[in-house]
Structure 1
C-alpha cells in the first residue's frame, strides 16, 4: 500500500503523537504525519508540530461544536488522512467526522476498558481509581472512536503490572510508555496488513 497518511488530534502534550512521529522519522513506520489538530492553541503538541514542520491547526470546540466538526472533517479530508489518531484529545468528535472516518479513528486510553473508561475518566483520574481499587495491574488500551467516550471496539491492549510502591506519578509514567509502544506497534500492524482499515 502507499504510505499511510496519519492525522493527529491532541489537546495537551500529545505524547503518543510524538512517539509515532519519531517512529516515522526513524523509518520504523512507513507513514506520513500529515497534520496535527488541537482544540487548544497553546498546547505543547501544537508547538511540537510547528517546530517539526507538521501542518498544525487550532480548531476551538467549546460552544461551537457543529462548526468545529465541519472544520475538522474538511481539514482531515483536505489533507488526505487515511487514519486519525487521538493523542489525549479531550473532546468528543462530531457526527460528520465520525461518519467520514468510520473505522479509521483510534484513541489510546490509560486503563482497562470498559471498567476504567467513560466521561471524566482520563489521565491521572484513571490511575487514581485503579490505585484506590487496589488493582494488581492496569493497561494501555487502543480502541476505535465512536460517539461515546471510551466506548468503541478495543483494538489492542498492553497490560501494565502495578508495583506495591506505585503512586499516581510512577504509574502514569509506565502506562504512558506502554501507550507509546503499543500505538507504534498497532500502526505497524495496520501498515503491514495484519489490522486492515477500516476496522
Structure 2
C-alpha cells in the first residue's frame, strides 16, 4: 500500500514519511481541537447521535487547517495545498475535467510558445553546408569549431564520393549527409531543392573536387567559399588539387607556399581572395612534408575564417 501511495504521489521515501507524519499529526490535532470546541458547548457524549454529527462536521472543517498547519514546519505545505485543492474540486462537484482541460490548454499554449521561440531562434541561426569529397579533415575541424555555436550550425554535409571519410565524420556528429551524382548536379537543379529543404544559408567547400555549377552560384551569391592549398593566383585552376599542387610548387622551386580562402565564382580558383596564410619551404621539403604544413595551416585558419565570414554576411 505504501509503495503504491509513494508512486502515486511521485515522492521519495523520506518525503513520503514526512507526508505520512503530517497526515497522522494533523488528524490527531483535528480530533483534539474538535473535542475542545465541543466542550465549550452544552453537548456531551450522552447526547448520542447529535454529539457525533456535530463532532464529524467540526473535524471535517478543521482537518484542512490542521494538516496545513502541521505541514509548514515539516516542509510539506505545497504538497498539502495542492492535495486539498483536488479534494475541494471533488467535494464541490466542480468538474476536474474542466480543470484538466485548462491545464492542458496552458501546456499546449506554452508548448506552442516554446516552438515559436525555438523556430524564431533557429531562423536567426545560419545553417551551413559543407561540401567535401575526401577524408574530411577540414570538415571535421569546422564542425568541431562550430559545435554549440549560438549563431551558426553545420546542418548538412554534401558528398559526391561514396565511402569518403567525411561521411563517417558527419555520422559521428549526427549531421545529415546528402549524396549527389554528377548528372543532377550539373544538368539538373544542382540539388537546390534539397539545400532549401535543409534551410542552408551558406556553403563551405572543404576539399570538394567538382566545379560548382552556375545555378548554385546564382542561388548563393557571395555565400560560397573554398580553400585552396596554395597561394593563388599561382597553382590554381582545373586539375590543381591535393598532392598535384604541392608537387608543382616544389618542382618550381618556390620558397613559400600556403593557403588561400576565396569566394567561388564560375571559374576554378578565380573568385575574390578573402584570406591567405603562408609557410616557408625548406630545401629538404617533399610534396608530402609540404602537404603536412599546408594541412596545419588549413586546420588552424579555415574554421576561424568560416565563422568570421558567416557572422558578417
Instruction: Flag whether TM exceeds 0.5 (same fold).
Output: yes
Question: C-alpha separation between the residues in 2 aligned to 1:29 and 1:13?
Answer: 27
User: Structure 2-normalised TM-score?
Assistant: 0.58
- What residue in structure 1 maps to residue 202 of structure 2? 83
Post-superposition offset of 1:15: 1.9
- 1:16-60 Cα offsets, whole Å, 9 max, x none, are 1111001122x5784211000111121111121122210101111
Note if contact 1:11-1:39 (Cα within 8 Å) is conserved in structure 2: yes
Post-superposition offset of 1:2: 3.1
Greater shift, 106-115 or 71-80, is seen at: 71-80
- What residue in structure 1 maps to residue 129 of structure 2? 7
Match of 2:157 among 36, 48, 51: 36
- What residue in structure 2 maps to residue 128 of structure 1? 247
Question: C-alpha separation between the residues in 2 aligned to 1:86 and 1:28?
Answer: 20
- What residue in structure 2 maps to residue 150 of structure 1? 269
Post-superposition offset of 1:187: 2.0
Question: C-alpha separation between the residues in 2 aligned to 1:173 and 1:128?
Answer: 13
State the structure with bigger RCO (CA 8 A, min sep 6), 1 or 2: 1
Match of 2:179 among 42, 58, 64: 58
RMSD: 1.9
User: Structure 1-normalised TM-score?
Assistant: 0.89
Partner secondary structure for residue 97 of structure 1: helix
Note if contact 1:10-1:37 (Cα within 8 Å) is conserved in structure 2: yes
Partner secondary structure for residue 218 of structure 2: helix
Question: C-alpha separation between the residues in 2 aligned to 1:166 and 1:28?
Answer: 38
Partner secondary structure for residue 22 of structure 1: helix
Runs of 4+ more than 3 Å apart: 27-30
Q: Going by fraction, where is strand more abundant, 1 or 2?
A: 1
Note if contact 1:118-1:150 (Cα within 8 Å) is conserved in structure 2: yes
1:174 aligns with 2:293: yes
- What residue in structure 2 maps to residue 139 of structure 1? 258
Match of 1:112 among 217, 220, 231: 231
Question: C-alpha separation between the residues in 1 aligned to 2:231 and 2:210?
Answer: 20
Question: C-alpha separation between the residues in 2 aligned to 1:132 and 1:29?
Answer: 45
Max radius of gyration: which structure?
A: 2
Post-superposition offset of 1:112: 1.0
Post-superposition offset of 1:125: 0.6
Structure 1 residues 19 and 78: CA distance shift in structure 2, 3 A: same
What stretches of structure 2 of length at least 5 have no aligned partner?
Answer: 1-122
1:74 aligns with 2:193: yes
